[in-house]
Amino acid sequence: MTSSKASRQFKFSSEVAKSTVYLAAIASVMLMILFTRDDSVARDTEQIVEYLSQYTQIPNAVTSVILGTRLFDTIGEVTVFTIAGLGVKILLHAEDSEEKFVGINDQVIRVLLDFAALLSCFLAIDLAVKGHLTPGGGFASGVAGATSITILMITGRIQKVEAFYFGSNAPALEKVAVIVFMLVALATFSSFLLPQSVFATVSPTIYIPLLNIVAALKVTIGSWSILRLFIVKRGVL
């Protein structure tokens, strides 16, 4: 009994020690960044941002990086997200579906949540369409869209949402979105490899907004698919 208690105390102490070391390391890095900041770095950053805006002709410098100069990384992110969705499907495939779902029944709360869902839906559209002009983009839009759908599910409309999911053939739309995203991204790469190709004449002001909208569609449906599986299979509401 004494040895077991001593073992737990030692384990707790070691965890505290490791956490302290991690926090100290993070604090040290933050202090170094704070006190060793060079003004020339700030000037270089401003020049880089200005160059990106001129090169891609996209006002939002973040979007010009994510879907322009570092598009290859974004392809990896889309691939990882797709694999994560497949992992959830494989994990929950063998589980039985829940037969009864209990949502929020309070009318006042449901009205407020309906308003929140509508607001989130409009926000998703705005972030996708104007993500190259203002802060936002396809990934943020996808999160907002999935949030809107999730709110509808927790207010007891799971059956209607499920009917719309399969009626609109959402899984197929997600696959199409991934394929379109990859094809457009590869086409932009070919414009660098083959400067004389037809894709080289396509302006970033055309393909970057398109990639934003396609990414928003993929992230929305992908997040929706993952969340609905947990709700349908495990009744998490």
Q: How do residues 11-66 score in pLDDT, each as one tens digit?
A: 556 776 777 877 777 777 677 656 655 555 455 666 766 776 677 677 777 777 77
Q: Which domain holds residue 73?
A: 60-234
Convert 143-178 to b/e letters by CB count within 10 Å (16 or more is b): bbbbbbbbbbbbbebbeebeeebeeeebbeebeebb
Q: How many CA atoms lie within 13 A of 130 on its CB side?
A: 8
Instruction: Identify whether 1 is part of a domain.
Output: no
| pLDDT attached to residue 32 | 67
Instruction: Identify whether 54 is part of a domain.
Output: no
| pLDDT attached to residue 12 | 55
Contacts with 140 (C-beta within 8 Å, 6 or more apart), sequence order: 127, 131
| pLDDT attached to residue 217 | 92
Instruction: Identify whether 20 is part of a domain.
Output: no
Contacts with 142 (C-beta within 8 Å, 6 or more apart), sequence order: 124, 215, 216, 217, 218, 219, 220, 222, 223
d(CA 217, CA 184): 15
| Helix-, strand-, coil-residue percentages of the chain, each rounded to 5 | 80, 0, 20
Looking at the structure of the chain, the number of domains it has is: 1
Instruction: Identify whether 31 is part of a domain.
Output: no
| pLDDT attached to residue 4 | 58
What is the model's pTM? 0.72
Instruction: Identify whether 41 is part of a domain.
Output: no
d(CA 62, CA 74): 12
Average pLDDT, the chain: 78
Instruction: Identify whether 157 is part of a domain.
Output: yes
Alpha-helix residue ranges (DSSP H) falling in 67-106: 71-92
Instruction: Identify whether 33 is part of a domain.
Output: no
Instruction: Identify whether 45 is part of a domain.
Output: no
